[in-house]
Amino acid sequence: MGRNTRKRRMPLATKAVAASAALALGGGGLIWANFYASAHESSSDQNRTKATANQIATIQCPDVGQQLTDVPDGARSGVDRELANLDKQITEAYARLASTRQAQSGDAGFVQNAILGPLKDKRVATIDRIRINIQRSGGTFAESLKQSAPCAGVPAEQPQINDGEADQNGDGQQDGGQQDNGGEQGQDPGQDQGQGQDNGNGAAGPFADDFVNINDVQPNSRDLQNGLAANGNSGSRGSFVTKCGVNENNLFNSDNIIVAPGVDNGAHHTHDYVGNQNNTAFASDQDLANAATTCRNQADKSTYYWPVLRLQDGTQEFDANELGGGAEGNVGKILKARQAEIKFVGNKAGPVVAMPKFLRIITGDAKAFTNGLANANTSFSCTGFEDRQVTDKYVICPQGSSVVRTSNFQSCWDGQNIDSANHRDHVAYVQADGSCPNGFKAIPQLQVRLVYDVPAPTIENGQVRNPYAVDGFPEQLHKPITDHNDFINVMSNRLMNKVVNCINSGNNCR
């Protein structure tokens, strides 16, 4: 697949990390997995499974960025770089975790001594640099952030979605990190090597338990309600649709201009982009304003982007050996959406006001598997079954039905800021009655609906064959709960006013 993305100069140290990650996650590397016990196992199989359960599947670290609320403007760039360093450190530690299974099996203290301990030391130094950046610019540093340095190891059985609190004792074990997964078949590390059970990514997910048949999902139910509170049913009932294509220009990169501006590979996974064509971590607001756009209405230069969806079928994509791609466990064929429906709707309680130019909104959480549910939001469904939405499972659709990813964005704005220190506090979800929190104003709600033709995965003996998954940070194990969507408003003032007028007058505009 061709792509319109820049070639990166990769420092030697970064190349070494990429090589380590490729060894850990590639099909030729050590295969390790999230294994489960089965009611049909022999006692020897069960013993192997118990031994496997003592292994650490992934790493859980407190999300420092989500805890930041007071970062002066003068410190933003320095703090963003250090937050990106924290992500990079976790990625490197995870690569080491995945590539040292043999050493771990012979040394109960290996993970703590060789991985989690050094990771804590790096995080202590990085958090201190965040403190220095904030205090030099006159801000107040919360001393409690220093308690976020220790990370926990999550056992090899499927970790429960938790409240995001990592082990603060530094012993490398997360209490309560196991759950019954319905008797899926266990397997010994090293068993069945070369059989493709790792789907080409070092068994970094997804797993059979991450999928659900859409027929088994109850109608009108969803795990999370964020973004679903009534918008547009009364009050301001109009809508505005912008048509921006499905990334026909093949614009991909693993940057994140919102969370990690100025940082190469800040997302550690590949994004699809529609709309603005100058989407890199290094683009300024002026660059975005001067860019070309794929939107039919050329006054909409907004950037709409989301992690790519991949079919783990062994395809060697353009980024198979690159950071953000195969070198960090994001493998397989990139599936382009058949439809990308981008719509703005109104507010149940009353009229909406214009979004400010360059307003940034993130919905969902790329780290929700370890952070917990507070910011998780996007959902999966199937065409013909869209009254059935699930947030923590990928769906298996019947023949003739397509996979649907839906993202309903926050639609309340604080009236002042286009961004905030944690990229969350300046916007909020509407409340159940459609009203906004005190001091917030209702703005048009962005709704993104992506439709994909995905070959239905099959599950045999507790193993999923040819699964699909969203790209993500490697330690998140490609869990569906980590799906997310990003937006920067770069509409002209005239077009934004048209959007508002259409919505408030009850018209449906395009």
pLDDT of 508: 95
Instruction: Tell me the pairing of strands 360-364 and 252-253.
Output: unpaired
Name residue 313's amino acid.
Answer: D
Element (H, E) at 143: none
pLDDT of 24: 39
Q: Domain residue spans in the chain?
A: 28-155, 208-509
Phi, psi of 239 (to 5 degrees): -155, 160
Q: How many residues does the chain have?
A: 510
pLDDT of 19: 37
Compute the chain's Rg from CA coordinates. Answer: 22
Q: CA-to-CA distance for 404 and 423, rounded, in angstroms? A: 26
Degrees, nearest 5: CA angle 90-95-100: 125
pLDDT of 219: 93
Degrees, nearest 5: CA angle 112-170-67: 125
pLDDT of 16: 35
Tokens describing residue 209? 């338990």
SS3 per-residue string spanning 272-327? EEEEECCCCCCCCHHHHHCCCECCCCCCECCEEEEECEEECCCCCCCCCCCCCCHH
Q: CA-to-CA distance for 114 and 93, rounded, in angstroms? A: 9
Query: Which DSSP state fits 84?
Result: H
- In sequence order, the 6+-apart residues with CB closer than 8 A to the CB of 420 are 69, 426
CB 51 within 8 A of CB 408: no
Tokens describing residue 153? 């190891």
pLDDT of 231: 57
pLDDT of 55: 75
pLDDT of 101: 87
Instruction: Tell me the pairing of strands 239-242 and 508-509.
Output: parallel
- In sequence order, the 6+-apart residues with CB closer than 8 A to the CB of 28 are none
pLDDT of 221: 73
Q: What is the pTM of this model?
A: 0.83
Give strand pairing partners of 428. Answer: 412
- In sequence order, the 6+-apart residues with CB closer than 8 A to the CB of 139 are 70, 71, 72, 75
Residue with tokens 């093949």: 250
- Beta-carbon count within 10 A of 233 CB: 11
Tokens describing residue 325? 């791609």
Q: CA-to-CA distance for 186 and 190, rounded, in angstroms? A: 12
pLDDT of 54: 55
pLDDT tens track, the chain, 510 positions: 444 444 443 433 333 334 334 433 333 222 223 322 222 333 344 444 344 445 788 999 999 999 998 899 999 999 999 999 999 999 999 999 989 988 998 899 999 999 999 999 999 999 999 999 999 999 999 999 999 999 999 886 543 443 333 343 334 443 333 333 333 333 333 333 233 345 655 558 899 999 999 999 999 877 444 444 445 556 899 999 999 999 999 999 999 999 999 999 999 999 999 999 999 999 999 999 999 999 999 999 999 999 999 999 999 999 999 999 999 999 999 999 999 999 999 999 999 999 999 999 999 999 999 998 899 999 999 999 999 999 999 999 999 999 999 999 999 999 999 999 999 999 999 998 889 999 999 999 999 999 999 999 999 988 899 899 999 999 999 999 999 999 999 999 999 999 999 999 999 999
